[in-house]
């Protein structure tokens, strides 16, 4: 990993980023592409450092549903085993021919008790079977209350629903160059007062010590009234920018990362939503520009936003007066 050959002395550093400054103690990127911090916490037990509520709300839908089905199946298998151990003769109304069918009947009786359906064909007989059935009914009521709350929380949780372009670009901008990345809403939501903040973290050497230096990047526009189409976030690389004079080699050989923070107001939920992502220097394409994402339809009465073009760009010649060397494609 190389340190930058140049770093603009006019650039102002940012102190209150929430990230450490000692580069020797930091591993990997600061923020993952999905916006989560690239942090692993230790020092406390696993069950203490995990918020199960947050984890259940944040996990992918397929994992959440798989977890529910797995829990439901295992709990009923466990209670079916209890009924089988005390003896299926304590379950009145069972009509079976072999042991496998007996266990199957016990399993389905467990599901009926767990869900409080209770068809009535099979019923517990005796103290032990009745006690187990009563306890299982209690577990079922608590479990369904918990799952219902989680489903409501996942369904009602305000989410930004914003996609970020896969790469950020160094593109020509007026008579200079600029760092550009693109975002777009991908669901039928309305976001207003959308604010963007862009920070770059670069490892520099001071007094023979490697440090993480963070620089806030001035944007062409840091607020838009409404995010209905795509928004190309632009940082003009002026003489005050920490990127002034960076060449393609500098981006390839320097360890740095751009941190993107988006805050918006969702008028449906009347709540603020946020989205985060990051781009390492190796995810920067030097000498390219985005192609338009939207166009009018054939009847010219509606605008089409083509989300498949969010990451689409073409080569573009840079203004070489800002670079250490000519890096035009």
Reported pTM: 0.77
Beta bridge partner(s), residue 197 = 261
For the chain, what are the domain ranges? 23-33+166-322, 52-156
User: How sure is the predictor about 1, in pLDDT bands with cuts at 50, 70 and 90?
Assistant: very low
pLDDT band at 170 (very low <50, low <70, confident <90, very high): very high
Q: What is the CA radius of gyration of the chain?
A: 29
Per-residue confidence (pLDDT) for residue 16, from 0 to 100? 61
Per-residue pLDDT reduced to its tens digit, 180-214: 999 999 988 889 999 999 999 887 766 667 778 88
Distance in angstroms (rounded) separating the CA atoms of residues 121 and 123: 7
Average pLDDT estimate for 6-18: 56
Closest to 237 (Cα-Cα) out of 222, 254, 251, 220: 220
Residue 238 has pLDDT above 70, yes or no: yes
Q: By CB neighbour count within 10 A (0-12 exposed, 13-18 middle, 19+ buried), where does 226 fall?
A: middle
**Alpha-carbon span 20 to 38, nearest angstrom:** 12
Q: Centre a 10 Å sphere on the Cβ of residue 35 and count the other Cβ atoms it contains.
A: 18
CATH fold label, 23-33+166-322: Immunoglobulin-like (2.60.40)
Handedness of CA 161, 165, 169, 174 (dihedral sign): negative
Which CATH code is given to the segment(s) 52-156?
Answer: 1.10.287.70
Distances (CA, A) of 200 to 12, 29, 46, 254, 297: 11, 12, 33, 12, 39
Q: Stretch 138-164: mean pLDDT, rounded?
A: 91
Going by pLDDT thresholds of 50, 70 and 90, the confidence category of residue 325 is very low
Distance, in Å, from the CA atom of 304 to the CA atom of 313, rounded to the nearest integer, reads 18
Alpha helices in 87-191 (DSSP H): 99-114, 127-156
Calculate mean pLDDT across residues 4-28. Answer: 58
Burial string for 256-268 (b: 16+ CB within 10 Å, else e) reads bbbbbbbbbbbee
**Mean pLDDT score, 317-326:** 63
């Amino acid at each position: 990993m190389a340190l930058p050959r140049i770093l603009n002395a006019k650039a102002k550093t940012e102190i209150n980023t929430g990230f450490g400054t000692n580069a020797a103690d930091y591993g990997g990127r600061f923020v993952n592409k999905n916006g989560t911090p690239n942090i692993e916490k230790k020092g406390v037990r696993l069950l203490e450092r995990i918020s199960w509520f947050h984890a259940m709300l944040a996990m992918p839908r397929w994992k959440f549903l798989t977890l529910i089905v797995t829990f439901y199946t295992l709990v009923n298998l466990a209670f079916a085993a209890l009924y089988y151990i005390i003896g299926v003769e304590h379950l009145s109304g069972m009509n079976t021919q072999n042991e496998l069918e007996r266990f199957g009947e016990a399993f389905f009786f467990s599901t009926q008790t767990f869900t409080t359906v209770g068809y009535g064909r099979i019923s517990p007989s005796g103290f032990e079977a009745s006690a187990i059935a009563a306890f299982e009914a209690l577990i079922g009521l608590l479990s369904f209350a918990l799952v219902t709350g989680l489903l409501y929380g996942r369904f009602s949780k305000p989410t930004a629903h914003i996609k970020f372009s896969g790469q950020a670009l160094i593109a020509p901008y007026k008579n200079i160059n600029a760092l550009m990345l693109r975002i777009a809403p991908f669901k039928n939501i309305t976001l207003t007062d959308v604010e963007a903040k862009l920070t770059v973290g670069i490892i520099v050497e001071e007094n023979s010590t490697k440090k993480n230096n963070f620089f806030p990047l001035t944007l062409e526009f840091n607020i838009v009234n409404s995010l209905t189409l795509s928004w190309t976030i632009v940082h003009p690389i002026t003489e005050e920018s920490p990127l002034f004079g960076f060449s393609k080699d500098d981006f390839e050989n320097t360890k740095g990362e751009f941190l993107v923070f988006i805050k918006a107001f969702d008028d449906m939920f009347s709540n603020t939503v946020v989205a985060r992502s990051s781009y390492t220097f190796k995810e920067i394409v030097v000498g390219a520009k985005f192609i338009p994402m939207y166009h009018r339809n054939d009847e010219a009465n509606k605008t089409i936003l083509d989300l498949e073009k969010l990451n689409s760009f073409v080569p573009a010649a840079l203004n070489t007066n800002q670079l250490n060397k000519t890096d035009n494609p």
